[in-house]
Structure 1
Amino acid sequence: ASSIQTMQEIERSLKFKKIPAGSPNQDELSQMTATFNRMMERLEESFQSQQQFVSDASHELNTTLMIIEGYANMLRRWGTRDEDIRKESIESIYEETQRMRTMTQQLLTLASSQQQDSGPYERVELVGCCQQVVAHLKPVHERQISIFTEEKEIWLDANLAKIKQLLVILLDNALKYSSEEIEIWLSTDEKDVHLRVKDYGIGIPESEIKRVFERFYRVDSSRHRKTGGTGLGLPIAKAITDAHQGTIRMESAEGEGTDVIVTLPQKQQERLSLQ
């Protein structure tokens, strides 16, 4: 009866509670209780993370709006008389709205990548895909980006648009935090494909490496406005690799550079549809 009471309380108050564990000999019931409690834990974690996300997103957008409002006020008061103030205000308002547009698009990307898997899959050739992305980025940044691989072609089941987006995010990060050449290393084994993006930039302290995949986390928040970062790039990269049943991790040494290593399965198992 206490199990049912707890469930009814959860339903009524929408608060996460656990069922008290019964005596160990009620096998099926104790398994159900353990499963239910694990589910409650996961729901609570997910709920708290969503709340944190909403509060972080509001804070980020609010900061941008406050800056825009400040400059708009300056324009109203002195814009007609002072040419320098007018230029600075218009430039800053434009920059902040661009930031906000980027952030809003990224928030939408994150929201949609959490609601669905990455299908439909197609056969994607990774070496050519990397060459294409590099060809797009090189003229913009005028920096050396080299691709190293022993394979002529590397095929995998993937969503091509998402893989390109993943590459752009990783290269964009490397370009922001380094001024040397950037390297892409591609390799494959019996079942997986390995993609490594290597830069020789400022690196990341070891204590912070785990947190870079958290939404809005930035290693140095004072620096992100200068580099234009939103703290959403790597979380989107992680959402893309998760959706492809892959993994992403980072290795870094301060002052020496950073490697981001992505592993993706060559073949996607046809997963059972839940519909």
Structure 2
Amino acid sequence: MIRVAVANQKGGVGKTTTAINLATALAAVGWKVLLIDLDPQGNASTGLGIGQSGREISSYDVLIGSAGVVEGAVATRVPRLELLPATMDLSGAEVELVSLEDRARRLERALDAVPSGRWDICLIDCPPSLGLLTVNGLVAARHLLVPLQCEFFALEGLSQLLQTVERIRLAFNPELQILGIALTMFDKRNNLSQQVADDVRACLGQAVFDTVVPRNVRLSEAPSHGLPALIYDLRCPGSEAYVRLARELMGRLPRHAEAA
């Protein structure tokens, strides 16, 4: 199973929107997909229409070892897409994990126990921080996708994240690779958006995906209906961009994940 962490410690960069819609696009082409919600806010769970009553077992239970990933995964409205939901219990997990053995490898060990062939790919939606929850996501993953908002402060956050990734590589996970940087919330009316996009491409070159996700109101509306934007409005500019981004993503992933 391919494991991709979707992470950026800066909030409001379109991270969860990216995770939900890429997971939907991959499921639509036949992949068996697991999306893990590691954010205490539970936005990925809400955005896929999983209410509190459908979160009996959550990623918190998996991290503390009281439940397994397969046991906690719930079906979504998207065929072949399952979700390990999040609850507010996660907000206390940072403190609880400190006293546990191998606290940085809790999620990795849980995913290692998943039977082979259960899912083709796992996307991990990390919280907007560089705490133990995000560390668990980065240690468990083999690939990192970074959504990056097209504004100045996003560049500062990116440098911090890249430093953290290097420390994770050295201490826990030498296999972690940056799959790509996805430029999000691009406003073509704003010169700064283009300038930031140009600067990121100049610094990181081929690591940056060609597809740029525009700022789009339909992407913002979709979660309130408990639907991915790709289902809420497939023809809006945001959804079309995520379809292209998913195609690029598949081109960068290892070939051993065949469509189901």
TM-score by length of 2: 0.23
Q: Which has the larger radius of gyration?
A: 1
What's the TM-score once normalised by structure 1's chain length? 0.22
Greater per-residue helix proportion: 1
